Structure 1
């Protein structure tokens, strides 16, 4: 049966930029939720001190939770080979961080969609770099998970593999027991594409999931696909919201995941409007999980 974790989507500025929230405060807040885990972020300001890694793991464990996933953003599509080599070393540091935290899954990305890159160049660079990281991941009992991502906050360009065809091609070139997909249905809308179509293409490779939802502020999904597909900058028609009340069809998503035998972690990206909203999203997802993965099954 899948287990739930939560990501501090509403507190990234406070945890990663101005330091107005401490990691222990997030642990205290999240530990009150009816979940099993806390997804971690490599960019928390306090993670710069390696001595904190073990402390945070112990604090989370003291609350009866665990840290299953580490979110980080390598940039493997830079044309300079030395730059890419440094990104590989960064990823290895994050793999070590993930292992120290007790995590099993560490995110990878392709990199930025630089205008001068052809699709084949970008895919080749990303595959080469990810494959260089996989032996180290295996040594640390960590699985690298590539997300159908939109854009890191600090990047100039969107994700190279944002579009479905590029993402699926990249995934198809890497076959390793320590590599899989972190599926995020909402990010597919930002590419102007159908999240279910993507899921059906990669469902047998999905090992973790980000649960989120988006609302259309105006217009229709057809308008979004025409006007926002592949655009630079977040889709202005879309807004993060409470899970189960947006565009995603969680019945269809969970039916497909159950069909392929998925039993991994589902991390919630929600709570922009407060912890009460996050609690409602947890309740919605627990109800859906119970429906598709009944205990007596």
Structure 2
């Protein structure tokens, strides 16, 4: 049966930018939930001090939870080779961070979709950088997971591999037992595409999942499909919502994951409207997981 984790979606500004929340405070909030683990973020301000890494691991494990997944955002599609080497070095440090926290999965991304970048060149650059990190990850027992992502908060351009066809080309290019997919159904809507179609194309490579949901603030799903202004338009039309009450069909998602034998981590990206909302999302997912993996 899969395991359930939570990510501090509502507290990223406080944990990563202004420091108004301490990581220990997030831990104490999260461990009250009916979850098995806490997904980590490499950009928590306090993670800059490596002496904090074992302390946070102990605090989580003292509550009977674990830190299975690390969320980070390398930019592997920059045209400058020196820049890419620095991103590889950062990714290796994040792998070390994951290992120190007791985790098994560390996210990678493709990089930014720079206007001058061709599809073939972008896939090659991203694949080469991911493959450069894989031996380092393998030595530490870490699986690198690529997410069908939208855009890092600090990037100028959206994700290079945001669109389904590009994402699948990149996933197909990197064939390694220590590399898999972190599937996020909501991000597919941001690309104007069908999350179930993407899942069917990559389900045999999915090792972790982000559980989230989106709802339309205005218009219809057909309006979303007709958008021509790019990803920025999708973001304005879509908003995060409580899991089970948005656009995602979790029965169809879990049916497909069960079919391929998925038993990895499902991490909740929710709670932007408070811990009560996050608790309801946990309860929804627990019911669904118990149904599909009794």
TM-score category by the smaller chain?
over 0.9
The answer for unaligned runs of 5 or more in structure 2 is none
Partner of 1:236: helix, strand, or coil? helix
1:235-256 Cα shifts (integer Å, max 9, x gaps): 2110101000000000000000
Residue 232 of structure 1 deviates from its aligned partner by 3.7
Q: TM-score, normalization: structure 2?
A: 0.99
Per-residue displacement from partner, 1:2-33 (whole Å, max 9, x unpaired)? 01000000000000000000000000000000
Gaps of 5+ in 1: none
Corresponding residue of 1:104: 104
C-alpha distance in structure 1 between counterparts of 2:71 and 2:234, whole Å: 20
The 3-state SS of whatever aligns with 1:106 is strand
Match runs of 1:155-234 below 5 Å: 155-227=155-227, 230-232=230-232
Q: Give 1:226 shift.
A: 1.2
The residue aligned with 1:255 is 255
| Structure 2 counterparts to residues 1-297 of structure 1, below 5 A | 1-227=1-227, 230-232=230-232, 235-294=235-294
Distance, in Å, in 2 between the alignment partners of 1:50 and 1:18 is: 20
Shift of 1:234: 5.4
CA shift in 2, pair 1:236/1:118, >3 Å: same
Q: What is the rounded CA distance, in whole Å, between the counterparts of 1:152 and 1:231 in structure 2?
A: 13
**In structure 1, C-alpha distance between the alignment counterparts of 2:28 and 2:115, rounded to whole Å:** 43
Deviations 1:211-230 (A, max 9, x none): 00000111111111111674
**Per the alignment, in what secondary structure is the counterpart of residue 235 of structure 1?**
helix
Distance 1:260 1:206 in 2: 9
Comparing 214-223 and 111-120, the one that deviates more: 214-223
Cα contact 1:4–1:35 (8 A) shared by 2: yes
User: What TM-score do you get using the length of structure 1 for normalisation?
Assistant: 0.98
1:236-283 deviations in whole A, cap 9, x for unaligned? 110101000000000000000000000000000000110000000000
Q: 1:177 to 1:262 in 2, by over 3 A?
A: same
Report how many residues are paired.
Answer: 294
